[in-house]
């Protein structure tokens, strides 16, 4: 297992995503925003059961995620 620690730029990205989602009326929890930001900045694919991450894809087309079964 690899532990990824957020850096300042991850927090900035999470804030920008949060602002875009708020404008669309689909806010996310802070931990989800950080997770998405970390994945975006590191070009990682998130595998999750949380369908709310589809909202991130609407404001960040480069965000890659898949719904796990």
Predicted TM-score (pTM) of the model is 0.93
Query: In which residue are the tokens 């875009």 written?
Result: 20
- For residue range 22-39, what is the model confidence (pLDDT) as tens digits? 999 999 999 999 999 999
| C-alpha pair distances (Å), 67 with each of 2, 8, 39, 48, 51 | 21, 28, 15, 5, 7
Give pLDDT < 50 ranges for the chain. none
CATH topology for the 8-67 domain? Rossmann fold (3.40.50)
Going by the DSSP 8-state scheme, the letter that residue 49 receives in this structure is S
């Amino acid at each position: 297992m690899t532990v990824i620690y957020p850096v300042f730029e991850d927090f900035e990205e999470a804030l920008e995503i949060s602002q875009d989602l708020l404008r669309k009326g689909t806010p996310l929890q802070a931990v989800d925003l950080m997770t998405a930001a970390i994945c975006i900045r590191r070009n990682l694919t998130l595998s999750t059961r949380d369908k709310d991450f589809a909202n991130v894809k609407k404001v960040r087309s480069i965000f890659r995620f898949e719904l796990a079964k």
